[in-house]
């Protein structure tokens, strides 16, 4: 798809657009909206969030001009695997694969939702419409999976401090972080997020069904359908076991064709990126785990607004905070990129809660 018009900054935008699609990291949504000359963009009525975090639609609603009505449309996550293959051509991106299914919702009924849905479906992707943006936002797999995998001590040690061989996000110990303890972490975090969703009036997910049916399935001989369906009803130990089976079953792609040696595609070989020095000589922490910490921190702060105890989320956050403090001490604060130190999640959570209280719940102070 060619770019018809490129604007470096918002000052040159003219009033010919009716839909704004935000493709930035979700924690930049408000910053982007603040730069727009809304008095000159009278036609915009719909905002599409391509990869929001939990509560992003409420946060965006609160940041929009109050004297106008906007449709805020959320996709559960970006629907493709798109990368810039040549750094010298930053406007040329290649999409290598599409998701099987995504979820979509809007803060009100609008034609734009159906337009976006049809555009995504043209790529062969199933699009499921949810009752509210919050329920679409809750169906981003990284919300449940990344924090236990990348905020555990072994993963943080590798990303921030190790010069040794690569380790892989979705492999079992010692090649990666997955252990029975990490599966326990995933179960407990899922339960805490589910409780928050219920308090906000949204339907929680069946984690195993979501992983299998909406992301990547495993062979039926590894996980029976009744185990997937009834996953929320099992005791915690049984849930941990089923998640461990699921990740073990996906060390290789069970649906790939084996080579002449009987080897299947090494599906789980997704290496951790490590902290590195940028062009300005400043240390940067990679998006995984930096964005995962921010996303979980926001969820934890939002839970506090509802007087919810989220001890496991807090424990994962503490893992990261202890590791990053050590990293900054070792590298020197002046040698670290400012993004490492930015923390806006408390203010974001309070804004989301106030907007939720106004539009969804009872107005209370957070």
Q: Which residues are catalytic?
A: 146
Length of the chain: 366
For 56, the 3-state DSSP assignment is: helix
186-190 contact pairs (CB < 8 A, 24+): 186/144, 186/145, 186/148, 186/149, 186/243, 187/236, 187/239, 187/240, 187/243, 188/236, 188/312, 189/144, 189/147, 189/148, 189/312, 189/313, 189/316, 190/144
Q: What one-character DSSP code corresponds to residue 256?
A: S
Question: Cα–Cα distances in Å, from 249 out to 152, 218, 227?
Answer: 22, 6, 15
Burial class (CB in 10 A: 0-12, 13-18, 19+), 236: exposed
CB atoms within 10 A of CB 7: 9
CB atoms within 10 A of CB 85: 9
Token output for 343: 């923390």
Contact 60, 73 (CB under 8 A): no
Locate the DSSP E strands across the chain. 19-22, 46-49, 71-75, 80-83, 94-98, 101-106, 126-129, 276-277, 283-284
Cα–Cα dist 331/20, whole Å: 40
Longest Cα–Cα distance of the chain, Å, equals: 66
Burial class (CB in 10 A: 0-12, 13-18, 19+), 278: exposed
Cα–Cα dist 172/107, whole Å: 41
For 219, the 3-state DSSP assignment is: coil
């Amino acid at each position: 798809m060619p770019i018809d018009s490129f604007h470096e900054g918002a000052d040159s935008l003219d009033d010919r657009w009716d839909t704004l699609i935000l493709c930035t990291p979700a924690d930049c949504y408000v910053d982007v909206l603040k730069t727009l000359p809304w008095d000159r963009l009278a036609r915009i009525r719909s905002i599409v969030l391509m990869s929001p975090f939990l509560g992003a639609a409420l946060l965006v609603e609160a940041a929009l001009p109050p004297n106008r009505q906007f449709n805020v449309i959320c996709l559960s996550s970006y629907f493709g695997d798109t990368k810039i293959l040549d750094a010298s051509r930053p406007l040329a991106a290649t999409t290598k694969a599409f998701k099987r299914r995504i979820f979509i919702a809007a803060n009100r009924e609008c034609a734009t939702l159906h337009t976006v849905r049809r555009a995504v479906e043209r790529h062969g992707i199933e699009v499921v419409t949810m009752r509210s943006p919050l329920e679409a936002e809750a169906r981003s797999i990284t919300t449940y999976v990344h924090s236990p995998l990348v905020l555990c001590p072994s993963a943080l040690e590798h990303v921030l401090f190790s010069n040794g061989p690569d380790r892989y996000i979705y492999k079992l110990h010692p090649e990666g972080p997955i252990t029975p303890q990490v599966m326990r972490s995933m179960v407990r975090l899922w339960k805490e997020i589910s409780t928050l969703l219920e308090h906000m009036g949204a339907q929680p997910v069946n984690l195993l069904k979501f992983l299998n049916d909406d992301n990547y399935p495993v062979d039926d001989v590894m996980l029976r359908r009744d185990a997937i369906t009834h996953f929320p009803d099992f005791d915690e130990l049984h849930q941990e076991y089923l998640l461990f089976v699921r990740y073990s079953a996906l060390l290789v792609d069970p649906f790939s064709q084996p080579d002449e040696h009987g080897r299947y595609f090494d599906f789980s070989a997704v290496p951790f990126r490590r902290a590195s020095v940028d062009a300005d000589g400043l240390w940067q922490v990679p998006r995984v785990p930096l964005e995962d910490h921010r996303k979980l921190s926001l969820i934890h702060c939002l839970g506090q607004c509802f007087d919810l105890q989220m001890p496991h989320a807090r424990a994962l956050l503490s893992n990261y905070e202890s590791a990053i403090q050590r990293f900054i001490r070792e590298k020197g604060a002046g040698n670290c990129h400012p993004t490492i130190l930015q923390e806006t999640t408390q203010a974001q959570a309070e804004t989301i809660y106030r907007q939720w209280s106004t539009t969804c719940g009872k107005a209370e102070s957070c």
